Amino acid sequence: MASFRPDHPMRICVYCASSQECDPHYHEVAFRLGALLAAGGCSVVYGGGSAGSMGAVANGALSGGGEVIGILPKFMADLEWGHPGLTRLELVEDMRERKHRLLTGSDAVIALPGGCGTLEELFEALTLKRLGLYFNPIILLNTRGFYTPLQSFMEDVIGQRFMNQEHLGMWSLVDAPEDVLPTIQATPRWREDARTIAVVRR
């Protein structure tokens, strides 16, 4: 299971959106999550932006004295989309490298509500977990029931035999940011024989 050790702060990858036009409640929850992660002694690594839920989760963690690392493609830096107050902002060549750097070395993934970029990142993490290339918890923060339709869709994917029943265990839905760290802590490492169940079987 994931564990909190003073000598090894957990590195938490957070996927989130930059939209400033969504309901402000999403930003409030993102800020609260960031503050809770900082209070839990976690380092936050995220996409490096300053707007929307991205900026909110970073600001929440920074308000609690937490370490926040942003991974930002150079073209976004050129557009001045980066957050100016982070512990560290790392510039990368492109979106592909950004996704790799976000996930590599992370002790858990949290997906907040978001658009196609957030969903792409989430599904890449799920795919890597299915293939036994990522073994840590993946948490979907189900603010305002955002991920409930996705949960139903994935259950239908499994029901129609595109994935195995065991794959429902690759992620967890939680309703509130206060539930995130306890769920990470309670989630066992993904099964070492993941590749043996990656292919749909009879």
Q: Average pLDDT in the 23-35 region?
A: 98
Please, what is the end-to-end C-alpha distance for the chain in angstroms?
30
**Residue 5 resides in a domain:** no
**Residue 6 resides in a domain:** no
Scan for tokens 């509130």, then name that residue. Answer: 176
pLDDT at 12 over 50: yes
**Residue 3 resides in a domain:** no
CATH of the domain at 141: 3.40.50.450
**Residue 1 resides in a domain:** no
pLDDT at 2 over 70: no
Q: Taking a C-beta distance cutoff of 8 angstroms, is the pair 106, 128 a contact?
A: no
Which domain does 63 fall in, by range?
A: 11-196
Q: Taking a C-beta distance cutoff of 8 angstroms, is the pair 63, 56 a contact?
A: no
Residue 56: CA count within 13 A, CB half-sphere: 21
Number of domains into which the chain is organized: 1
The whole-model pTM stands at 0.95
For the stretch 50-79, pLDDT in tens is 999 999 999 999 999 999 999 999 999 999
For the stretch 175-200, pLDDT in tens is 999 999 999 999 999 999 999 999 99
For the stretch 121-147, pLDDT in tens is 999 999 999 999 999 999 999 999 999
pLDDT at 7 over 90: no
DSSP string spanning 76-102? HHHTT-B-TT-SEEEEESSHHHHHHHH
